[in-house]
Amino acid sequence: MLAWPRVRFCGEAVAAVVAADRYLAEDAAGLVAVDCEPLPAVADVGDARGAAAIVHDEAPDNVLLSRRFDHGDVEAALASSAAVVERVFRTNRQTAAPLEGRGGVADWNAAEGKLTLYSGTQVPHLARHALGEILGCPRTACASWPPTSAAASVSRPSSIPRTSCSACSPCAWSGP
């Protein structure tokens, strides 16, 4: 859930603190020390394919997802077109910057054997599946609820590792 065995980008979560109250958590967080060696960087998307700076071992060409959408006979449509224009388009670097923080509240109900996670996700079903896999329990033992007033943000799926840590916290105290 956290950066392991390497930190891939500036700001990636590397540690989590679980404590009985906020003050103990703040004291414990002050004791966390991280020592990292710089990794090679690739700044151009075109150069990143198959680069030496692999982000995830599961994607050795640095392509995590590739989809192609075709409808009808694309080749015939291209062949019968008056002109076919091919271009490479580049855009500036962008990021989603939600107004609310990335966090979550996890509630472990020992009597029901159920974990409920309230977080800023826009993909609650994916979060529920991920929690079940991470905690090694059936999906039916996990629930994930998005906030009722959150704006959609494409950065939400990337918050699953952080919110999964909050889900594991009550389990560390009294859960499965």
List of domains in the chain: 22-174 (3.30.365.10)
CB 171 within 8 A of CB 115: yes
For 104-116, the pLDDT digits (tens) are 778 888 888 888 8
More confident residue, 40 or 157: 40
- At 176, the pLDDT band (50, 70, 90 cuts) reads very low
For 17-76, the pLDDT digits (tens) are 878 788 998 999 999 998 888 888 887 778 888 767 788 888 888 887 788 888 899 999
How would you classify residue 67: left for phi > 0, otherwise alpha for psi between -120 and 50, otherwise beta?
beta
Residues 133-162, mean pLDDT to the nearest whole number: 68
Give the list of residues 6+ apart from residue 152 with CB closer than 8 angstroms, or none: 122
Both tokens of residue 69?
């959408």
- Helices assigned H by DSSP within the chain: 22-30, 45-48, 74-79, 124-135, 160-174
* Confidence check: pLDDT of 133 > 90: no
First to last CA, the chain: 18
User: What is residue 75's predicted lDDT score, i.e. its pLDDT?
Assistant: 92
Can you give the pTM of this predicted structure? Answer: 0.56
